[in-house]
């Protein structure tokens, strides 16, 4: 009886990537770095002795041939004809060749280790892609192993099993019981055989690889000889004794016989064009896409040699030459077989008997032996490969303790636990028995792996990494793109649903690993690509092309100790408006007296702080002999190209006791009772909080705290920092009372619309100037508007306060300001605040009879005389020659306290934050302490307040 082999047997996806691992010696899992020497394994390693032929050519040939060469050639030619068959092989091998070039390039850029494609992808693209692809690679090999086991069992049952339909003529060899449970029993026995081989060690299979290769090549030789040696004959078709409704268009019923004609021109002409028909095993109509999908399954296996790099004498020489040789050889064999089949076999024979090569062979069992050998070889190699991938995943700790048992190995280095886990999963897959579904999933998974390899090579090429120097140079980024596109098209051509699901599954694993896995030391290609692109765009960011319409705040926030600055750091993250945000820190010291740079060990803690607070900021630390010089350094060097800080933010210099906002909640109770006690167990804190503890004394300033050596920033130096920034044309922001600021609490009433942001655009320290449209005032409005544009602050209401004296037009001033706000597209409520009483205090001199400001109705001559007398008096007063805010005025404490009370009285309910006008420091450096004291009086008990001084135009009414 003619052996019947269903189409699902032909869809056996060749396990390309894991047959690569079939001869991988146990224990070869040491991680390879480009500079750091390879880690030595605790297990003895076998010497690298395999040549190109034994280490690359043979594994690749066996992976690519498998059963396809015996069972699919007739199916492809019979359905699509010789012309389309050759075109299919050209397209399929073009896709494969593009991936081969990428495999050769990556494999010659460094030694590979256990894991094959997983190892290449993970070390090139990082743990996220590597882990997700590795899991899919593992599952593909598990399913592939089960697929080949079931295929072998079906081939055995078709030959030796008792048919369920007794009407079919049986042979004397059909003695095995058939049925689902019997097939499952046979499959379990075959899987156990594979398990025993893998438990003993992969070296046993490696020794048998050459014997299997000889068997397959011998069977192929007999097939080629049979085309010339066997005489024309008539061959009965499978299922001829069973009537069926399926017809192929040649007659009223299904044909029962077909001819092997030998080499005839008529036979060739009849097989040139396509003639798609119903598949006799599944009853489905064949198309170009379905035939191409079936055929393509047998063209994979290209990565078998790359995973053998640890056993090769010269991997960089053997992998490209051996892989390309195997690909060319299989391409020639497939096309030559297609031509011989088309010249000698009737179309009916090719369409109705997929195992016809056995029937025309000089000795029929030869083909059966070849099918059994190649299928068993593929099943074992997939199981071995799956165990090696699982072991590599477990060793890399990408999934934590879930895979930790898979790390165990025997004394010889064989990962026996991984082998058992892989076998158990194979056994579970055997229960399904749905070979078509399994084959499609396996093929799609392998195609996704190939696409990932092309992507890895493309990323390395585009990143222009200096260490990417493969000795194989016959590739470009164009070949990588073609490989990716080809693999993607094939995935969706085979099964669009499975392709979409596999990609979604890979992305889910990628996100899971990204958020759960620890940082690896493999390197991230994404960082190299980002660096490459950022450098290019920074060069394009020309500061000469800056325009006020596109101005945005680029902030340098000076932080003394992050423990007391959490509120300010998070608030300034809201106000940056997608601009540059740099956290700066100055450590006092002299590098000449230190053995090494003390800042290098602190960067990890600062970057962990950025991650912990979930802010988008850079970190810039500097070492200087004073805080002032350190801030100057940061203002000079922070940023790059057109991305440089334009705004300096400092915590206010006051006597507020700092509060540690980075304390572990479990420790907050004990430490809050004694904030001055710095003693605590560092083991109880998260590792990211490696900052110096706060002193907790009243001498500690929010900005001017300790900087490592006990020196404290003085008020004179603090104001000098402000003056230096203004000299460098940097905007300055002083933030007060943010040490207790809680963003969530401040916005807790946003749902009720009761959150306010107050803006006082007038220079309150210079009451003789009532201008509210100067550069600094507009800068205040811009920052307040930016804050109001942040999603969390959109429900906050802006309140704009104008200080107006009697005799001035209140209504006219409000209307003018309202028109300005309308032109600036700023939505705010304007409030006029009379402050005559406060201004009167301003003109009173301490210890004098109370020189008053000239009345509003005084003549111009009287005003000029008053100004002249004031200037003469000031010139005779050395202490006030360069005083602020002008040379003609002096501020009293009573006036500042009165203005402070005015602000408190006018803001009911209290706002979440206030924006005040910050005047320039006095030119006389002797007045710095007085300047700081008066700022303190002005902002006393105001809550979170920003004192802002702008030096550059930031608002325009132009389109």
Residue 581 has pLDDT above 50, yes or no: yes
* pLDDT interval class at 433 (50, 70, 90): low
Q: What is the dihedral of CA 940, 942, 943, 947, to 10 degrees?
A: -80
Task: State the residue for tokens 């070949």.
Answer: 479
pLDDT (0 to 100) of residue 83? 94
* pLDDT interval class at 6 (50, 70, 90): very low
Residues for the chain: how many in total?
959
- Considering the domain architecture, whether residues 504 and 623 belong to the same structural domain is answered as no
- Considering the domain architecture, whether residues 273 and 366 belong to the same structural domain is answered as yes
Distance between CA atoms of 936 and 715, rounded to whole angstroms? 12
Distance between CA atoms of 205 and 211, rounded to whole angstroms? 10
> Which of the residue ranges 129-143, 305-319, 439-453, 487-501 has the most confident prediction, judged by mean pLDDT?
487-501
Q: Single out the residue of 62, 14, 55 nearest to residue 308, CA to CA.
A: 55
Q: Are strands 555-558 and 647-651 parallel, antiparallel or unpaired?
A: parallel
pLDDT (0 to 100) of residue 254? 66
Distance between CA atoms of 299 and 327, rounded to whole angstroms? 9
Residue 104 lies in a domain: yes
Distance between CA atoms of 268 and 166, rounded to whole angstroms? 38
pLDDT (0 to 100) of residue 67? 63
Task: Say which residues have a Cβ less than 8 Å from residue 234's Cβ, sequence separation at least 6.
Answer: 257, 258, 259, 260
- Considering the domain architecture, whether residues 490 and 561 belong to the same structural domain is answered as no
Residue 788 lies in a domain: yes
Q: Single out the residue of 916, 935, 885, 766 nearest to residue 835, CA to CA.
A: 766
* pLDDT interval class at 201 (50, 70, 90): low
> Which of the residue ranges 307-316, 327-336, 532-541 has the most confident prediction, judged by mean pLDDT?
327-336
> In this structure, what CATH number is given to the domain that contains residue 610?
3.40.50.620
Share of the chain above pLDDT 90, in %: 19
Distance between CA atoms of 31 and 23, rounded to whole angstroms? 19
Q: Which two structure tokens, joined as six digits, stand for 61?
A: 């040939």
Residue 958 has pLDDT above 50, yes or no: yes
Alpha helix ranges (H) inside 161-296 = 180-200, 202-229, 265-270, 288-296
pLDDT (0 to 100) of residue 517? 64
pLDDT (0 to 100) of residue 205? 66
- Considering the domain architecture, whether residues 562 and 499 belong to the same structural domain is answered as no
257: DSSP letter: E
Residue 342 has pLDDT above 90, yes or no: yes
Q: Which two structure tokens, joined as six digits, stand for 834?
A: 């009379």
Would you say 609 and 636 are in contact if contact means Cβ atoms under 8 Å apart? no
Q: How many domains does the chain have?
A: 3
Domain limits at 571? 553-661+704-741
Residue 934 lies in a domain: yes
Of 516, 545, 574, the last residue of a domain is 516
Distance between CA atoms of 176 and 308, rounded to whole angstroms? 39
- Considering the domain architecture, whether residues 272 and 367 belong to the same structural domain is answered as yes
pLDDT (0 to 100) of residue 650? 94
> Which of the residue ranges 228-242, 475-489, 499-513 has the most confident prediction, judged by mean pLDDT?
475-489
Mean pLDDT of 422-448: 79
Residue 653 lies in a domain: yes
Chain segment 757-787, per-residue pLDDT in tens: 999 888 888 776 656 678 888 888 889 888 8
What are the backbone angles phi and psi of residue 663, rounded to the nearest 5°? Answer: -75, 140
Chain segment 707-744, per-residue pLDDT in tens: 333 346 888 999 999 999 999 999 999 999 988 888 88
pLDDT mean across residues, the chain:
77
- Considering the domain architecture, whether residues 436 and 584 belong to the same structural domain is answered as no
> In this structure, what CATH number is given to the domain that contains residue 120?
1.20.1740.10
* Measured CA distances, 879 to 735, 921, 928 (Å): 29, 15, 12
- Considering the domain architecture, whether residues 471 and 327 belong to the same structural domain is answered as yes
Of 690, 720, 741, the last residue of a domain is 741
Residue 252 lies in a domain: no
Q: Which two structure tokens, joined as six digits, stand for 302?
A: 């290209």
Residue 861 lies in a domain: no
Surface-to-core class of residue 779, CB atoms within 10 Å of its CB (0-12 exposed, 13-18 middle, 19+ buried) = buried
- Considering the domain architecture, whether residues 599 and 717 belong to the same structural domain is answered as yes
* pLDDT interval class at 699 (50, 70, 90): very low
pLDDT (0 to 100) of residue 676? 42
Say how many CA atoms lie within 13 Å of 704 toward its Cβ: 23
Residue 586 has pLDDT above 60, yes or no: yes
Question: pTM of the prediction?
Answer: 0.64
Mean pLDDT of 264-291: 85
Local structure of 622: helix, strand or coil = strand
Please report the DSSP string for 98-145 in residue order: HHHHHHHHHHTTS---TTTHHHHHHHHH-HHHHHHHHHHHHHHHHHHH
Residue 852 lies in a domain: no
Please report the DSSP string for 668-699 in residue order: HHHHHT-TT-----GGGS-TT--SPPP--STT
Residue 477 has pLDDT above 50, yes or no: yes
What are the backbone angles phi and psi of residue 398, rounded to the nearest 5°? Answer: -75, -25
- Considering the domain architecture, whether residues 484 and 566 belong to the same structural domain is answered as no
Mean pLDDT of 829-855: 62
Task: State the residue for tokens 């290449």.
Answer: 120
- Considering the domain architecture, whether residues 312 and 266 belong to the same structural domain is answered as yes
Chain segment 800-819, per-residue pLDDT in tens: 888 877 656 566 666 777 77
Mean pLDDT of 875-882: 40
- Considering the domain architecture, whether residues 511 and 558 belong to the same structural domain is answered as no
Other C-beta atoms closer than 10 Å to the C-beta of 927 total: 18
* pLDDT interval class at 54 (50, 70, 90): confident
Break the chain down into helix, strand, coil percent, rounded to 5.
55, 10, 35
pLDDT (0 to 100) of residue 856? 47
Residue 157 lies in a domain: yes
Of 468, 491, 516, the last residue of a domain is 516
Chain segment 589-603, per-residue pLDDT in tens: 888 888 888 888 888
Distance between CA atoms of 385 and 212, rounded to whole angstroms? 18
Chain segment 544-559, per-residue pLDDT in tens: 777 777 788 899 999 9
- Considering the domain architecture, whether residues 728 and 839 belong to the same structural domain is answered as no
Please report the DSSP string for 428-445 in residue order: HHHTT--HHHHHHHHHHH
């Amino acid at each position: 009886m003619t052996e019947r082999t269903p189409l699902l047997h032909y869809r056996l996806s060749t396990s390309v990537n894991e047959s690569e691992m079939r001869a991988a010696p146990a224990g070869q899992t040491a991680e390879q770095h480009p500079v750091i020497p390879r880690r030595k394994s605790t297990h003895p390693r076998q010497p690298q002795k395999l040549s190109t032929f034994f280490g690359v050519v043979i594994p690749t040939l066996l992976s690519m041939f498998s059963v396809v060469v015996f069972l699919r050639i007739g199916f492809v030619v019979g359905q699509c004809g010789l012309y389309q068959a050759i075109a299919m092989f050209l397209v399929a091998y073009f896709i494969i060749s593009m991936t081969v070039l990428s495999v050769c390039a990556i494999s010659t850029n460094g030694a590979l280790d256990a894991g094959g494609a997983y190892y290449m992808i993970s070390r090139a693209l990082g743990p996220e892609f590597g882990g997700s692809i590795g899991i899919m690679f593992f599952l593909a090999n598990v399913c592939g192993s089960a697929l080949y086991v079931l295929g072998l069992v079906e081939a055995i049952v078709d030959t030796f099993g008792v048919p369920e339909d007794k009407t079919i003529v049986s042979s004397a060899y059909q003695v095995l019981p058939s049925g689902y449970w019997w097939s499952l029993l046979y499959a379990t026995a075959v899987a156990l055989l594979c398990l025993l081989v893998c438990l003993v060690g992969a070296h046993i299979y490696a020794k048998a690889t050459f014997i299997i290769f000889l068997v397959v090549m011998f069977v192929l030789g007999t097939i080629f000889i049979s085309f010339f040696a066997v005489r024309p004959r008539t061959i009965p078709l499978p299922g001829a004794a069973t009537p069926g409704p399926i017809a192929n268009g040649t007659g009223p019923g299904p044909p029962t016989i077909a001819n092997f004609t030998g080499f005839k021109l008529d036979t060739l002409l009849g097989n040139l064009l396509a003639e798609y028909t119903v598949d006799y095993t599944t009853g489905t109509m064949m198309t170009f896409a379905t035939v191409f999908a079936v055929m393509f399954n047998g063209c994979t296996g290209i990565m078998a040699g790359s995973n053998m790099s640890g056993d090769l004498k010269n991997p960089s020489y053997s992998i490209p030459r051996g892989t390309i040789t195997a690909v060319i050889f299989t391409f020639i064999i497939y096309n030559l077989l297609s031509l011989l089949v088309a010249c000698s076999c009737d179309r009916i024979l090719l369409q109705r008997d997929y195992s016809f090569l056995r029937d025309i062979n000089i000795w029929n069992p030869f083909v059966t032996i070849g099918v059994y050998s190649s299928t068993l070889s593929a099943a074992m190699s997939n199981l071995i490969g799956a165990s090696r991938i699982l072991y590599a995943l477990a060793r890399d700790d990408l999934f934590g303790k879930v895979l930790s048992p898979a790390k165990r190995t025997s004394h010889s280095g064989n990962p026996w636990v991984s082998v058992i886990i892989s076998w158990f999963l194979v056994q579970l897959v055997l229960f399904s028995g749905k070979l078509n579904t399994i084959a499609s999933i396996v093929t799609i998974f392998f195609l996704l792996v190939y696409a990932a390899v092309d992507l890895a090579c493309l990323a390395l090429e585009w990143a222009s990494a200096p260490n990417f120097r493969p000795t194989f140079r016959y590739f470009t980024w164009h070949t990588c793109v073609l490989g990716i596109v080809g693999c993607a098209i094939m995935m969706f051509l085979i099964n669009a649903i499975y392709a979409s699901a596999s990609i979604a599954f890979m992305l889910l694993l990628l996100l899971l690993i990204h958020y759960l896995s620890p940082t690896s030391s493999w390197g991230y290609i994404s960082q190299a690509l980002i660096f490459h692109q950022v450098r290019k765009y920074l060069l394009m960011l020309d500061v000469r092309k800056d325009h006020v319409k596109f101005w945005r705040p680029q902030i340098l926030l000076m932080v003394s100790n992050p423990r007391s600055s959490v509120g300010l750091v998070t608030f300034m993250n809201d106000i940056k408006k997608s601009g540059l945000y740099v956290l700066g820190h100055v450590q006092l010291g002299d590098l000449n007296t230190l053995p090494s740079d003390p800042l290098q060990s602190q960067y990890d803690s600062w970057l962990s702080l950025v991650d912990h607070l979930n802010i988008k900021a850079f970190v810039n630390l500097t070492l200087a002999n004073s805080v002032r010089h350190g801030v100057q350094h940061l203002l000079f060097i922070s940023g790059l190209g057109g991305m440089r800080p334009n705004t300096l933010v400092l915590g206010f210099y006051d006597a507020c006791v700092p509060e540690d906002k980075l304390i572990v909640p479990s420790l907050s109770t004990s430490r809050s009772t004694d904030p001055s006690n710095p003693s605590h167990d560092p083991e109880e804190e998260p590792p990211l909080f490696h900052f110096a503890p706060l002193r907790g004394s009243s001498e500690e300033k929010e900005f001017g705290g300790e900087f490592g050596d006990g020196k404290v920033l003085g008020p004179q130096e603090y104001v000098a920092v402000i003056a230096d920034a203004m000299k460098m044309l940097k905007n300055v922001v002083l933030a007060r009372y943010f040490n207790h600021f809680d963003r969530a609490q401040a916005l807790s009433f946003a749902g009720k619309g009761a959150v306010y942001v107050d803006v006082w655009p007038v220079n309150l320290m210079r009451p003789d100037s009532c201008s509210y449209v100067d550069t600094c005032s507009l800068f205040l409005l811009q920052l307040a508007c930016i804050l109001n544009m942040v999603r969390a602050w959109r429900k906050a209401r802006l309140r704009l306060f104008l200080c107006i004296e009697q005799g001035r037009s209140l209504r006219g001033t409000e209307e003018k300001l309202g028109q300005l706000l309308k032109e600036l597209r700023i939505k705010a409520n304007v409030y006029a605040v009379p402050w005559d009483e406060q201004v009167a205090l301003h003109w009173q001199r301490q210890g004098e009879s109370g020189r008053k400001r000239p009345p509003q109705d005084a003549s111009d001559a009287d005003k000029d005389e008053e100004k002249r007398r004031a200037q003469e008096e000031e010139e005779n007063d050395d202490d006030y020659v360069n005083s602020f805010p002008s040379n003609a005025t002096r501020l009293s404490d009573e006036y500042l306290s009165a203005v402070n009370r005015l602000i408190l009285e006018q803001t009911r309910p209290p706002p979440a934050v206030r924006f005040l006008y910050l005047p320039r420091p006095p030119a006389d450096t002797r007045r710095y302490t007085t300047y700081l004291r008066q700022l303190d009086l002005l902002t006393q008990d105001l809550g979170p307040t920003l004192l802002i001084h702008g030096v550059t135009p930031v608002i325009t009414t132009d389109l």
